[in-house]
């Protein structure tokens, strides 16, 4: 119609808006470089990368669910129970190691528990029809309760030889945890962005009607995405275990916020402005670099929360403004 | 990929003696349709003539009571969506169903992606194949890497076509109102693509309300009226538009309508729109007078829906001035529109008009709760009596106003909405498709109520796709086409043929190219 140029114009106006979080991050990182020269040292970068591993792997899982369910924060796909699931897996393994159970059996148990959590979430969302936000928030609370019951809210330290090797060892100067993160990245990147399954998942998240019309089974696609997310939570448990040398209560809380933040920040890295695995990796790195930089500058720990919360708001507002521009 | 289009030449489509009745009413009564390879066959008829039922039967969505379908000389044993797809029959629906953040190539290959032997997606092949398809089959250049959200309406339509045809197995393609969202220039682009398909020997069924398009692009035309096949013309020329209209219409106006009590006073308009421009319309001038029922006619895509939504504050008015009772106003939301005295009876009453779980009384009283409450407390008894009085006046059945509104029939639900607004102090009533899905009896009552509103000195604006309703109910009609008002005519002496000619751009020799 005659108004055809209108959306294009609006989109051009909206273009810098979604870059705001990125620009802000870039400015902050630059600021750290000047204020804390230690920030750019190899040793510190290695610390940031190692610390990012659990968050990044959780973000890959969350990205699968968001890509398959749509990126609307309220009605789209989301899985808030991933950090809780991961911490549950950590607790199970820690308790098992203390009881001298075989590590293979424990790994199997951890993966099974995580997949079960994913399956439960998927059934709640796909079969019962609960909004993913509520369903996974509820299951998160339940899973945290289960973890506390099992671990009695104690810290359980373990120093099994395999864990020490994974924690302290490196290959070509790069810690094992980073290699592990990269391997998981390659796996998820392939599944979501380079396989037919991933293409179908993106289609069902993009438009359910379009997916159905093309004969794609969006219900089973969504189920798969929750299972894949649960699997990611189990994988993240290994890096969490090595980072904390065991299980500690309440570890899921900071992860939850950072996971959602990092995954949505990732949209700023994609040409199509959608959630991607690659974006989730970069988002996780950014969030951790930010925490690290603030800590190096000895910023009050309570301010760190405020800064992160403000960033979430900024990213979500940018996304909302941008979406409004598209209508 | 292009060489595999050879299947197209294998044979045409024959639909014989197709019958279908819904609840005893014949929707299709022995319709025959033959479409040869390389032929563009127009399918026309008024709303409710049976076009969509016929298309649904062909798509396997709807089972005929009688008749048979054969493709390429073989009778189809079962007609299911999957079987139809297998036979090479493809549908280009009105809705695009495309994903905004997908590329053109991804959208074309959705559900039938190309992979490397090692399992990864072969993006290069998908891009090359989709671009080759656009170039060689549809005669157009389109970059396979562009995002869907950056495309024009015409390009989106072409992507939709490519998606249906990319497997090279298509023998028959059904286009359902393909040009509705397109500008004339874009429609020309689409016609080129359709002619290119025809040249490849693909059979095409083309459904459209725009009769000048039908005469331009179709080789033969089948006309349906009230479920019957009125005629199949073996040749159509531009001069045939009036003949097609005469074949499509053929119903008489019934005495459903009430005459106005007095001639409306058209000296001082209550609402004026000067040079209005907004979502899908432009340069609009209109005046509404108290006591007058004004209709808006126009095909889907004419901007009719957007105009009334704008008057109700759902879309912003981008250009021009809106005056209400002489004062220039801006309506930014329905709340402001209601405050200015505008009431809307929406088309989709189940979702937008009524609160289904609430009672009839609550739904009637919802627009005027002030007088029914004291210090914020709702006066239950007074509210119930008020609702009951209105229910009696409007003959809402059953008369129990405590019943949840969801159990009422369509016609009675519509009356509940009318009752709600009768109750209010609104000055302008916008009725959007007021009798959609309403039976004839309730329809007459709704028409009489509408006339009563006008006789009380209110303005009434009716938007409808039913030609007989517009002519019978309204005093004056605004005819919209492609975002503009092309005629402002009294309904006296206006025939359905005349109206159809105005909405579809028929007898005026205006070509869209």
The string of pLDDT tens digits covering residues A125-153 is: 888 888 888 899 999 999 999 988 888 87
Q: What is the arithmetic mean of pLDDT over B132-142?
A: 85
Summary mean pLDDT of chain A: 82
Is A60 a residue whose pLDDT tops 90?
yes
User: Residue B183 and residue A214: Cβ atoms within 8 Å?
Assistant: no
Average pLDDT for chain B:
81
The answer to whether the CB atoms of B113 and A209 lie below 8 A apart is: no
Q: CA-CA distance, A6 to B316, in Å (whole number)?
A: 13
Which of A196, A210, A273 has its CB closest to that of B98? A210
Q: Are residues B177 and B296 in the same domain?
A: no
Residue A195 to residue B110, Cβ atoms within 8 A: no
pLDDT tier, A6 (very low <50, low <70, confident <90, very high otherwise): very low
Instruction: Please state the rounded mean pLDDT for residues B229-234.
Output: 86
Residues of chain A neighbouring B483 (CB-CB closer than 8 A): 1-2
User: A203 and B102: CB-CB below 8 Å?
Assistant: yes
Q: What is the mean pLDDT of residues B247-262?
A: 64
Within 8 A of B482 by CB-CB distance, chain A residues are: 1
A:202-241 residues touching chain B, CB 8 A cutoff: 202-203, 206-207, 209-211, 213-216
HSE at residue B114, side-chain half, CA atoms within 13 A, is 17
Nearest to A206 among B102, B303, B482 (CB): B102
Q: What is the number of helices (H) and of strands (E) in chain A?
A: 14, 4
Q: Which of A188-197, B264-273, B456-465 has the lowest mean pLDDT?
A: B264-273
Does residue B220 share a domain with residue B136?
yes
Q: Point out the domain boundary residue: B186, B215, B248.
A: B248
Residues B379 and B431 in one domain: no
Is A190 within 8 Å of B280 when comparing Cβ atoms?
A: no
Q: Quick one: average pLDDT of B126-135?
A: 90
Question: What pLDDT, on the 0 to 100 scale, is given for residue B379?
Answer: 64
Decide if pLDDT at A54 tops 90: yes
Same domain, B207 and B233: yes
A contacts of B165 (beta carbons < 8 Å): none
Final residue belonging to a domain, choices B424, B456, B474: B424
Inter-chain CB proximity A214 and B111 less than 8 Å: yes
Instruction: Between B2 and A263, name the one with better pLDDT.
Output: A263
pLDDT at B511 over 60: no
Residue B323 region by backbone torsions, left for phi larger than 0, else alpha for psi between -120 and 50, else beta: beta
* pLDDT of res. A8: 40
Residue A131 is predicted with a pLDDT of: 87
Per-residue model confidence (pLDDT) at position A127 = 86
Question: Which residues in A lie closer than 8 A to residue B120 (C-beta atoms)?
Answer: 190, 194-195
**Do B318 and B171 have their domain in common?**
no
Interface test mutation site (partner A, options B86, B99, B284, max chain A beta carbons within 10 A) = B99
Judging contacts by C-beta atoms under 8 Å, the chain B residues touching residue A203 are 99, 102, 110-111
Do both B243 and B331 map to the same domain?
no
Q: What is the domain-level CATH number for residue B309?
A: 3.40.50.300
Contact list, B101 vs chain A (CB under 8 Å): 206, 272-274
B188–chain A Cβ distance below 8 A for any pair: no
Q: What is the distance between the alpha carbons of residues A123 and A226, in angstroms, rounded to a whole number?
A: 9
Answer whether B97 touches A (CB < 8 Å).
yes
Sheet holding B172-176, edge to edge: B89-92, B172-176, B203-207, B40-44, B220-225, B228-233
Q: Confidence band (pLDDT; 50, 70, 90) for B222? A: very high
Most confident residue range from A302-306, B212-216, B251-255: B212-216
Compute CA B308 distance to the chain's CA centroid, rounded to the nearest angstrom. 15
Mean pLDDT, residues B439-458 taken together: 79
Task: Write the pLDDT tens digit of every residue in A266-314.
Answer: 877 777 778 899 989 988 988 888 888 877 777 777 787 787 778 767 7
Better pLDDT: A212 or B56:
B56
Q: Is the pLDDT of residue B510 over 60?
A: no
- For the record, the structure tokens of B276 come out as 């209005």
- Clarify whether residues B218 and B293 are in a common domain: no
CA distance to partner chain B, nearest, from residue A96 (Å):
38
DSSP A165-178: HHHH-EETTEEHHH
User: What is the model's pLDDT at position B39?
Assistant: 92
**DSSP code of B251?**
P
Interface test with B, best of A1, A18, A188, A221 (most B CBs within 10 A): A1
What is the value of ipTM here, to two decimals? 0.78
Position B370 pLDDT exceeds 70: no
Cβ–Cβ below 8 Å for A3 and B318 = yes
The whole-angstrom separation of Cα A312 and Cα A291 is 14
Q: Is residue B261 assigned to a domain?
A: no
| Residue-level pLDDT at A319 | 62
Query: Is there a single domain that holds both residue B408 and residue B439?
Result: no
CA distance A2 to chain B (A): 7
pLDDT at A179: 92
pLDDT for the residue A246: 79
Q: Is the Cβ–Cβ distance between B330 and B317 less than 8 Å?
A: yes
pTM for the complete prediction? 0.69
List the single residue in A199, A202, A272 with the smallest CB-CB distance to B147.
Answer: A272
pLDDT band at A160; cut points 50, 70, 90:
confident
Mean of pLDDT values over B55-77: 85
Residues B179 and B71 in one domain: yes
Provide mean pLDDT across the span B207-230: 86
The answer to whether position B382 is within a domain reads: yes
Yes or no, beta carbons of A206 and B119 under 8 Å apart: no
* Judgement on whether residues B412 and B462 belong to the same structural domain of the protein: no
What is the mean pLDDT of the segment spanning B2-17?
Answer: 60
Q: What is the pLDDT of residue A113?
A: 92
Q: Tell me, yes or no, whether B93 and B233 share the same domain.
A: yes
Cα B335 to Cα A268, B146, B313, B332, B344, distances in angstroms: 36, 40, 8, 8, 11
CA A136 → CA A65, A208, A260, distances in Å? 11, 21, 13
Question: Which range marks the domain in which residue B412 is found?
Answer: 357-424
Which chain A positions have a beta carbon within 8 Å of B150's beta carbon? 8
The reply to whether B96 falls in a domain is yes
Instruction: Select from B99, B119, B279 the Cβ nearest to the Cβ of A210.
Output: B99
Per-residue model confidence (pLDDT) at position B507: 44
The answer, for B118 touching chain A at a CB cutoff of 8 Å, is no
- Residue B298: its H or E element: none
A210 and B97 within 8 Å at the Cβ level: the answer is: yes
Two tokens at B109? 């290959």
Chain A: residue whose CA lies nearest to B123: A194
Q: What is the mean pLDDT of the segment spanning A248-265? A: 84
Q: Give chain B's domain count.
A: 3
Per-residue confidence at B157, pLDDT binned at 50, 70, 90?
A: confident
**Strand B40-44 relative to strand B220-225, pairing:** parallel
* Final residue before a domain boundary, out of B424, B439, B467: B424
Closest-CA residue in chain B for A204? B99
Residue B107 has pLDDT above 50, yes or no: yes
On whether both B409 and B452 belong to a single domain, the answer is no
Q: In the structure, what pLDDT confidence band is assigned to residue B244 with cuts at 50, 70 and 90?
A: confident
Q: Which residue has the higher pLDDT, B108 or B6?
A: B108
| Chain A stretch 26-85, residues whose beta carbon is closer than 8 A to a beta carbon of chain B | none
Task: Say yes or no for a CB contact (<8 Å) between B303 and A1.
Answer: yes
């Amino acid at each position: 119609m005659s108004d055809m140029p209108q959306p294009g114009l609006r989109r051009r106006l909206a273009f810098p808006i979604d870059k705001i979080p990125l620009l802000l991050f870039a400015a902050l990182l630059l600021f750290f470089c000047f204020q804390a020269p230690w920030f750019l040292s190899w040793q510190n970068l290695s610390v940031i990368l190692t610390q990012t591993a659990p968050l990044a792997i959780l973000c890959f899982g969350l990205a699968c669910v968001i890509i398959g369910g749509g990126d609307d924060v309220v009605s789209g796909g989301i899985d808030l129970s991933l950090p809780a699931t991961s911490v549950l897996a950590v607790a199970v393994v820690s308790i098992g190691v203390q009881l001298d159970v075989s590590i293979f059996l424990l790994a199997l148990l951890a993966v099974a528990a995580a997949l079960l959590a994913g399956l439960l979430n998927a059934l709640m969302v796909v079969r019962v029809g609960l909004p993913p936000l509520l369903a996974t928030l509820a299951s998160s609370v339940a899973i945290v309760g289960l973890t506390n019951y099992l671990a009695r809210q104690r810290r359980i330290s373990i120093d099994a030889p395999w864990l020490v090797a994974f924690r302290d060892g490196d290959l070509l100067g790069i810690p094992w945890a980073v290699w592990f993160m990269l391997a998981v990245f390659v796996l998820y990147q392939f599944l979501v962005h380079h396989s037919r399954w991933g293409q179908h998942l993106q289609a069902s998240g993009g438009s359910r009607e379009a997916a159905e019309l093309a004969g794609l089974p969006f219900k089973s696609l969504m189920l798969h995405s929750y299972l894949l997310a649960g699997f990611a939570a189990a994988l993240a448990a290994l890096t969490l275990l090595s980072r904390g040398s065991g299980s500690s209560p309440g570890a899921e809380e900071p992860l939850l916020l950072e996971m959602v933040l990092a995954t949505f920040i990732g949209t700023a890295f994609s040409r199509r402005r959608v959630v991607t695995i690659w974006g989730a990796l970069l988002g996780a790195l950014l969030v951790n670099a930010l925490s690290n930089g603030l800590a190096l500058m000895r910023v009050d720990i309570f301010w760190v929360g405020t800064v992160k919360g403000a960033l979430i708001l900024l990213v979500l507002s940018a996304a909302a403004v941008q979406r409004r521009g598209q209508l | 990929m292009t060489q595999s289009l050879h299947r197209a030449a294998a044979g045409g489509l024959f639909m014989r003696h197709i019958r279908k009745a819904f609840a005893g009413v014949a929707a299709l009564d022995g319709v025959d349709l033959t479409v040869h390879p390389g032929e563009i066959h127009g399918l026309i008829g008024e709303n409710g003539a049976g076009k969509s039922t016929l298309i649904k039967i062909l798509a396997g969505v709807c089972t005929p009571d009688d008749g048979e379908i054969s493709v390429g000389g073989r009778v189809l044993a079962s007609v299911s969506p999957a079987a139809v797809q297998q036979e090479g029959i493809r549908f280009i629906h009105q809705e695009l169903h495309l994903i905004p953040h997908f590329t053109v190539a991804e959208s074309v290959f959705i559900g039938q992606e190309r992979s490397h032997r090692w399992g990864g997606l072969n993006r290069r092949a998908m891009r090359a194949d989709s671009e080759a398809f656009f170039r060689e089959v549809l005669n157009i250049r389109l970059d396979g890497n562009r995002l869907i959200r950056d495309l024009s309406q015409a390009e989106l339509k072409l992507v939709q076509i490519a998606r249906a045809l990319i497997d090279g197995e298509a023998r028959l393609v059904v286009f359902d109102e393909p040009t509705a969202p397109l500008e004339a220039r874009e429609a020309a682009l689409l016609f080129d693509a359709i002619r290119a398909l025809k040249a490849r020997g693909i059979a095409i069924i083309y459904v459209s309300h725009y009769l000048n398009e039908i005469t331009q692009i179709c080789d033969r035309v089948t006309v349906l009226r009230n479920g019957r096949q009125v005629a199949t013309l073996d040749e159509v020329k531009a001069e045939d538009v009036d003949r097609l209209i005469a074949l499509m219409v053929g119903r008489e106006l019934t005495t459903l309508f009430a005459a106005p009590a007095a001639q409306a006073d058209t000296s001082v308009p209550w609402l004026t729109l000067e040079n209005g421009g907004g979502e899908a319309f432009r340069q609009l001038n209109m005046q509404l007078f108290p006591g007058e029922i004004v209709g808006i006619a126009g095909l889907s895509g004419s901007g009719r829906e957007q105009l009334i939504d704008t008057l109700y504050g759902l879309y912003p008015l981008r250009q021009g001035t809106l005056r209400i009772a002489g004062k220039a106003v801006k309506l930014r939301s329905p709340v402001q529109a209601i405050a200015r005295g505008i009431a809307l009876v929406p088309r989709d009453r189940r979702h937008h008009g009524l609160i289904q779980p609430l009672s009839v009384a609550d739904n009637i009283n919802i627009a005027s709760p002030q007088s029914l409450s004291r210090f914020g407390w709702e006066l239950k008894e007074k509210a119930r009596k008020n609702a009951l009085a209105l229910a009696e006046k409007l003959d809402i059945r059953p008369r129990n106003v405590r019943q949840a509104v969801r159990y009422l029939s369509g016609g009675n639900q519509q009356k509940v909405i009318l009752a709600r607004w009768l109750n209010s102090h609104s000055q302008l009533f916008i009725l959007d498709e007021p009798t959609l899905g309403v039976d004839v009896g309730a329809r007459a009552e709704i028409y009489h109520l509408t006339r009563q509103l006008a006789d009380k000195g209110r303005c009434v604006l009716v938007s409808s796709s039913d030609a007989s309703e517009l002519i019978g109910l309204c005093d004056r009609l605004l005819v919209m086409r492609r975002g503009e008002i092309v005629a402002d005519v009294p309904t006296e002496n206006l025939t359905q043929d005349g109206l159809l000619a105005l909405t579809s751009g028929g007898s005026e020799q205006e070509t869209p190219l």
